[in-house]
């Protein structure tokens, strides 16, 4: 398929075998800051970005397919290295291939933007697209949608240090890894942690809401449109998964309660046999399906369970 420069392109990255990519706030912030740093470095226009549990969607304008391929490769490599370092997990984190499809008219652009924004709604994580933190719509025109305004002169000493460290890293073009994030969040109360999260996202965010909103007449009209249309995507083929993603929320809360630290994810470094035992426990204690418990624990699919592999990717997947 020929790639046309600067035509809006839907970009789809999936965890290996559909496995979970993000278990905690810090996981998402690591990926997010890598993504935004690399997009900015390559002068890629990002119209939309959405971080789901097992995959990511973005909508981009860029000059060539080669830039898209290299961009995905670098983002995936850096996140996988960090993910494996903190968890003790070994092996692939992402599928080798990624899905992409270009939208050559405004109607298809609007439909794709709505589809990406409404992924959390379709998976029962929220009622409206604007309610999801991880499609970043709430940050269109608001730097602190989930916290009180940050007034530095009134902040605690640890908060002032954290803000300075984030600013300095961003200025140097550095993404934030787990070690850095644990350091800046330490010593902060819940209110300041919420403020710091909003500050990190607002500082690194590269989504061009004005450019995306122009396809609807304005950002406000775009957000309103997302409430009445879910959009569609017929060219990047996602595996149909009827189960809601709320099961992943259940499993994460269960592990947070019992282990109190999902950053290190120790269950990903134990034997498959031990994880199979854990899988049965999760099935009893949550609403998760067999597929969802397998993906949560990064278990290989059992025989007879169909999971798409990289070698069988359709022709529009690169």
What is the rounded CA–CA span in Å between residue 155 and residue 163? 10
State the pTM of this model: 0.93
Q: Looking up tokens 């993906």, which residue turns up?
A: 295
Secondary structure letter of residue 298 according to DSSP: T
Tell me how far the alpha carbon of residue 207 is from its chain's centroid: 13
Measured distance CA(36)–CA(60) in Å, rounded: 12
Quick one: tokens of 43? 């002068």
Three-state DSSP class for 60?
strand
Q: Note the Cα 107 to chain centre separation in Å.
A: 25
Q: Identify the architecture of domain 9-140+207-242 in CATH.
A: 2-Layer Sandwich (3.30)
| Per-residue confidence in pLDDT tens, the chain, 318 aa | 789 999 999 999 999 999 999 999 999 999 999 999 999 999 999 999 999 999 999 999 999 999 999 999 999 999 999 999 999 998 999 999 999 999 999 999 999 999 999 999 999 999 999 999 999 999 999 999 999 999 999 999 999 999 999 999 999 999 999 999 999 999 999 999 999 999 999 999 999 999 999 999 999 999 999 999 999 888 887 777 889 999 999 999 999 887 767 888 888 999 999 999 999 999 999 999 999 999 999 999 775 444 433 322 332 333
CA–CA separation, 131 vs 127, rounded Å?
Answer: 7
Parse the chain into domains and list their residue ranges. 9-140+207-242, 154-205, 246-296
């Amino acid at each position: 398929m020929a790639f046309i420069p600067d035509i809006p392109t839907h970009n789809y990255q999936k965890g290996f075998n559909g496995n979970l990519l993000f278990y905690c706030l810090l996981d998402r912030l690591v990926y997010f800051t890598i993504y935004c740093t690399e997009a900015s470095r390559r002068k890629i226009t990002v119209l939309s970005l959405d971080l789901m549990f097992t995959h990511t969607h973005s909508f981009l304008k860029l000059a060539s397919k080669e830039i898209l391929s290299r961009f995905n490769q670098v983002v995936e490599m850096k996140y996988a290295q960090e993910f494996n370092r903190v968890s003790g997990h070994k092996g692939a984190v992402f599928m080798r291939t990624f899905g992409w499809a270009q939208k050559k008219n405004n109607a298809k652009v609007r439909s794709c933007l709505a589809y990406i924004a409404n992924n959390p709604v379709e998976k029962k994580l929220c009622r409206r697209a604007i309610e999801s933190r991880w499609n970043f719509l709430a940050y269109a025109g608001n730097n602190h949608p989930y916290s009180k305004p940050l007034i530095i002169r009134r902040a605690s000493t640890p908060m002032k240090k954290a803000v300075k460290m984030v600013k300095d890293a961003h200025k140097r073009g550095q993404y934030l890894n787990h070690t850095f994030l644990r350091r800046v969040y330490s010593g902060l109360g819940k209110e300041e942690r919420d403020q710091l999260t909003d500050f990190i996202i607002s500082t690194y965010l590269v989504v061009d809401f004005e450019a995306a909103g122009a396809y609807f007449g304005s950002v406000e009209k775009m957000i309103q449109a997302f409430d009445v249309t879910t959009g569609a995507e017929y060219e990047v083929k996602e595996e149909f998964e009827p189960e809601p993603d709320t099961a992943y929320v259940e499993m994460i809360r269960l592990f947070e309660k019992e282990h109190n630290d999902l950053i290190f994810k120790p269950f990903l470094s134990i034997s498959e046999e031990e994880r199979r035992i854990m899988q049965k426990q999760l099935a009893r204690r949550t609403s998760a399906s067999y597929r969802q418990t397998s993906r949560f624990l990064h278990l290989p699919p059992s025989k007879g369970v169909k999971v798409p592999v990289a070698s069988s990717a359709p022709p529009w997947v690169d």
